[in-house]
Structure 1
Amino acid sequence: MWSLAIPDGLVMDPLAPTALAVPSDFMDRIGSGLTILRDHGKKVQKYVWKNRKFDILKKSWKSMVNVVLIDAKDTPSGSANGLYCKFRLGSEGHKSKQLSKSKLSWCERFNLYLYDDSNLEITVWHKGKQKTFMGRCVIDLSQLEKEKTHELWQELECGQGSIHLLITLSGTSRIMPLDNVPTTTAVQHATPEGDKFSWYRLDNNWGEVGELTVTVYGAEGLCALGISGKADSYCVLELDNSRIQTHTVPGTSDPMWNKSYTFPINDVTSMLTITVKDESIINTMKDETLGKISIPLLTIVNDEKAWFDLNNRSKKSAIKGNSPKIQLQMSIAWNPIKASFRLLSPKTNKYTEPTPKTFNIPLIYSNLKFIKDIFYAVYYGNEHLKYLFEWENREKSALALSAWLLFWFFFRMWMTPLLVLIPFLYFWATRSSANLMPISHFDEDSSEEDLDTTKDDKTIKTRLYELQDLTFTIKDGIDYVVSLLQRVKNLFKFAVPYLSYLVMTVLFAAAIAFYIIPVNYIFMAIGIYKFMRKVLNPDRIPNNDILDFVSRIPDDKMLKQWRELRVPETNFNRTYSAKKR
């Protein structure tokens, strides 16, 4: 009998003839797919049958409708608790969650598919002791512009009140075949009109300060968790509450979308978020992403066609794939005067539900270290002032005294904004060339990623000791600050009347002095007093007058101890005193 050698990477299929071999990586993908289906069987069944996605995937719909249900207003009193909505578009239906006393807004997102019937019907119900119909409304989606997010307050028919919605229609079909996908040269990147947002064009629409154009060309190196190992990928672009989705390119790790979109800008400090997702049922149920990137609008370089690395911000591990990246071209135009005034108004709130909070130990360690550095900076700054006041270095102390006297002699109130400019000028002049990176490649989470991925020789025990040391340092600093604040509060509340009356007398005297003597001369006198104390009394102990006075005032803990010093009267003494009266 002749036997054939099986190459490496192939395994024998026990159910197949002897000469048939199956690649091992293919068997691994089948096994992982079956495991995911088994673990998420109920979710997949609900996803396929209850929401009718299985039938939808077989059909060719005209557009996808993304609806965000936000909240309701002017509803009958007492009906907010237990209020919910039902959506119906063609044969597809969805139901929202019920409002509760702790949550008076829905902020839910729904994806529906548009066929021939373009009427979106929304009914509002109240679930109390019995189910009550509250009203309905019908929205003709054919009247809405595609590739744009519309914010609507829709009045309820046959009822009272209105509901708040965000509706976006994607303008392409679900899947475009690979042979029909245009090449990268077929799409033209449009640049926003610069004259429309010139600084002198101040129309009545102050809510829209600019315009952003984004062209999504394609991606490379994507990875999928499905059995085929290929991704049915699409892009989701989000700017504040605007959300647009591209078509799906099936069965490839290097999709080409070649789509251009335009977003209105309400705040120039916002961030454009681009998420690449897989349309497969398994990844949809697991809410998996193939990559994500967030780009601040102020870092965009107009008309620059560049590749951006895709990351996974929801996990510490690196994203799977062959160095996944996406090719974009962006242009932005905005009115600087409108944008400046917009910064003084409240920031736009995202209506969708935020990402659940996670316990990030490296981030906590970094924050604690930052607070510790602040405490140390204040401490060393105070020590440096003591060093100057005690004339340990005569040249530096004399120079500091001269600078203090000259500053307050020439100081005027209009110079105050110029003093605030000093830190800006210092950091602007001393910033290194490393900070002047191309703004198109800016990554706002680079420091956090470096903290997560940095590997050193420190053991877990050493890390825990460092974290404990940081915690105790911050605890001591917070206790000291809280004690000072409590002492000041007790000073105002006459916990020690003598000290409170003394402060009141000093404040009255200071008011008279400020009325008679110019402020410049008063601060010059204070500087001379602080610097000359050591000269007049060489044996004095260094101290801070104000902190020493505040230390005489009891905090809440000391007041509690003072109250416990009083001996309570016995019942016999109280009865004897009452009879005597």
Structure 2
Amino acid sequence: MFLKLQAWYQLENNLRDVGWLTVIVYGAKGLAAQDCYCVLKLTNERRQTHTECKTNDPNWMKIFHFKLTDITSILEVSVLDEKKVDEIGKISIPLLRINNGVKTWYALKDQTQRERAKGNNPRILLEMRTSWNLAKAAVRVINPKEVDLLEGDGKFDRRVFARNIVRARTVTLWTLDSLKLIKTCFEWESRKSNVIALVSWTFFCLFFKIWMLPLLLLIPFVKYRPDNYYLINWNIFKKQKAAIEDLKIEKEEKSTLRQKIHSLQEMVQTVQNGIEKLASLGERAKNLCNFTVPFVSLFAVLLILLMSVVMYIIPLQYILICWGIHKFTRKIIRPNRIPNNEILDLLSRVPDDETLLNCEQLSLESSNEDKLY
């Protein structure tokens, strides 16, 4: 059978296994090197084809199976040169974007995944199919995301550092702009807007019930839905010149110049990674509200509605009692549990803007040779 089917109502076996992925790697064309092989990576699983020697158009014809533990994962397909051990092409494909059973040519990109790879219109022919359990997948997105053990620590890169600063500044300016918009509702700079805000606030206070509180979280989902996505105009935030401050390093008597440079690199790398995480978190929150990953966004909306229903049916004091009992006893019931935050776990399943750029597919040049497959 081409793929093990797993319907949404089937809950047997391991609850961590949400489905299956099958990938057929047919071959590639227009590569910039010979003696190449293909590597498929899905989180902590890695598969690879044999090496096709002395050809720029390898024909691998291999079938690979992956067990899915997270439907929001991204499949990375790389083509490497065996002699130089260099990556000559790469693509990233989110599992939720796979067209089941469709044989497709994908344009290969370089290591930065921003430009086309070197070669004569380099491309790879793949056929993929997924089958996954909806209930299991929904439960997995609010649990800790599996750590990618195959991904090493990134080294300091000046371009990456500058790009992360711009990303963090954009998210910060967008947040400040949103707070400024809220502040203007009380400053009467626009009579029309302030009257509407005052009337809305009055009616809200008159008819407000505690069960309506989670519904306020639906506001960004409504505002940033796909049709109105461009209400966030990221271009209005002009890029400012990065302020470079002089770093004052205390001299240590026994420290060498190499140790000082190494210490400085570690500090800068820490700052770079911190800025990247901050920018990534803001971008993930934005992409959650604009339905970049519809499955996760719809699940978040469903959770919010479910919270409102629970708060409508059960009095608040009983909810707080149950919450307190859960908080105080969970360490006793599950002593080996991994501390986690369900909201951050949900956001971790949403790609940031950098990941979305990595997953963008390049257009292919038409070729008569492709019709032979």
Please, what TM-score do these two structures have when normalized by structure 1? 0.38
Separation (CA, whole Å) in 1 of partners of 2:175 and 2:138: 34
User: How far off its partner does 1:382 sit?
Assistant: 4.9
Q: Secondary structure at the match of 2:185?
A: helix
Q: Find out whether 1:292 has 2:90 as its counterpart.
A: yes
Partner of 1:271 in structure 2?
A: 74
Q: Find out whether 1:413 has 2:210 as its counterpart.
A: yes
Partner of 1:423 in structure 2?
A: 220
Deviations 1:403-444 (A, max 9, x none): 2111111111222232212221232252469xxxxxxxxxxx
CA distance 1:468–1:312, change in 2 (3 Å): same
Structure 1 stretches of 4+ with a deviation exceeding 6 A read none
Q: Find out whether 1:236 has 2:33 as its counterpart.
A: no
Q: Find out whether 1:217 has 2:26 as its counterpart.
A: yes
Deviations 1:492-531 (A, max 9, x none): xxxxxxxxxxxxxxxxxxxxxxxxxxxxxxxxxxxxxxxx
Q: Find out whether 1:358 has 2:156 as its counterpart.
A: yes
Query: Aligned Cα RMSD in Å?
Result: 2.9
Separation (CA, whole Å) in 2 of partners of 1:198 and 1:214: 19
Separation (CA, whole Å) in 1 of partners of 2:54 and 2:167: 44
CA distance 1:393–1:324, change in 2 (3 Å): closer
Separation (CA, whole Å) in 2 of partners of 1:348 and 1:393: 49
Separation (CA, whole Å) in 2 of partners of 1:432 and 1:251: 48
Q: Find out whether 1:367 has 2:167 as its counterpart.
A: yes
Q: Secondary structure at the match of 1:323?
A: strand
Partner of 1:503 in structure 2?
A: none
- Are the equivalent residues in 2 in contact too, given 1:220–1:324 (CA < 8 A)? yes
Deviations 1:122-176 (A, max 9, x none): xxxxxxxxxxxxxxxxxxxxxxxxxxxxxxxxxxxxxxxxxxxxxxxxxxxxxxx
Q: Find out whether 1:343 has 2:141 as its counterpart.
A: yes
Q: Find out whether 1:207 has 2:207 as its counterpart.
A: no
Separation (CA, whole Å) in 2 of partners of 1:415 and 1:215: 49
Separation (CA, whole Å) in 1 of partners of 2:177 and 2:27: 49
User: How far off its partner does 1:257 sit?
Assistant: 1.0
CA distance 1:305–1:315, change in 2 (3 Å): closer
User: How far off its partner does 1:364 sit?
Assistant: 2.8
Q: Find out whether 1:466 has 2:241 as its counterpart.
A: yes
Separation (CA, whole Å) in 1 of partners of 2:114 and 2:26: 28
- Are the equivalent residues in 1 in contact too, given 2:108–2:116 (CA < 8 A)? no
Separation (CA, whole Å) in 2 of partners of 1:341 and 1:408: 35
Deviations 1:459-515 (A, max 9, x none): xxx98x72239xxxxxxxxxxxxxxxxxxxxxxxxxxxxxxxxxxxxxxxxxxxxxx
Deviations 1:347-368 (A, max 9, x none): 2122235153332244134224
Separation (CA, whole Å) in 1 of partners of 2:73 and 2:113: 23
Separation (CA, whole Å) in 2 of partners of 1:191 and 1:432: 39
Aligned runs of 1:55-454 on 2, under 5 Å? 191-194=2-5, 197-224=6-33, 231-280=34-83, 283-284=84-85, 288-314=86-112, 319-359=117-157, 360-374=160-174, 376-378=176-178, 380-388=180-188, 393-428=190-225, 430-431=227-228
Q: Which has the higher contact order (CA 8 A, sep 6+)?
A: 2
CA distance 1:396–1:372, change in 2 (3 Å): closer
Separation (CA, whole Å) in 2 of partners of 1:429 and 1:242: 33
Q: For structure 1, which segment, 392-401 or 406-415, has the greater mean C-alpha deviation from structure 2 after superposition? A: 392-401
Partner of 1:71 in structure 2?
A: none
CA distance 1:369–1:247, change in 2 (3 Å): same
Separation (CA, whole Å) in 2 of partners of 1:363 and 1:369: 10
Q: Which amino acid aligns with 1:384?
A: T
CA distance 1:261–1:204, change in 2 (3 Å): closer
Q: Which amino acid aligns with 1:193?
A: K
Q: Give structure 1 stretches of 5+ with no counterpart.
A: 1-189, 225-230, 434-446, 448-461, 470-581
More helix by share: 2
Q: Which amino acid aligns with 2:212?
A: M
Deviations 1:31-50 (A, max 9, x none): xxxxxxxxxxxxxxxxxxxx
CA distance 1:372–1:423, change in 2 (3 Å): closer
User: How far off its partner does 1:386 sit?
Assistant: 3.5
Q: Secondary structure at the match of 1:408?
A: helix
User: How far off its partner does 1:212 sit?
Assistant: 0.3
Larger Rg: 1
Q: Which amino acid aligns with 1:323?
A: N
Separation (CA, whole Å) in 2 of partners of 1:423 and 1:315: 30
Deviations 1:385-415 (A, max 9, x none): 2333xxx554443332222111111111222
Separation (CA, whole Å) in 1 of partners of 2:42 and 2:136: 18
CA distance 1:344–1:304, change in 2 (3 Å): same
Separation (CA, whole Å) in 2 of partners of 1:379 and 1:400: 15
Q: Which amino acid aligns with 1:312?
A: D
Question: How many residues matched?
Answer: 237
Q: Secondary structure at the match of 2:243?
A: helix
Separation (CA, whole Å) in 2 of partners of 1:335 and 1:211: 9
**Identical aligned residues as a percent:** 37
Separation (CA, whole Å) in 1 of partners of 2:178 and 2:222: 22
CA distance 1:343–1:316, change in 2 (3 Å): closer
- Are the equivalent residues in 2 in contact too, given 1:301–1:331 (CA < 8 A)? yes
Q: Secondary structure at the match of 1:339?
A: helix
User: How far off its partner does 1:291 sit?
Assistant: 0.8
Separation (CA, whole Å) in 2 of partners of 1:408 and 1:232: 70
- Are the equivalent residues in 2 in contact too, given 1:191–1:303 (CA < 8 A)? no
Q: Which amino acid aligns with 2:224?
A: F
Q: Which amino acid aligns with 1:242?
A: E
Q: Which amino acid aligns with 1:247?
A: H
CA distance 1:368–1:467, change in 2 (3 Å): farther
Deviations 1:361-380 (A, max 9, x none): 44134224314423541453
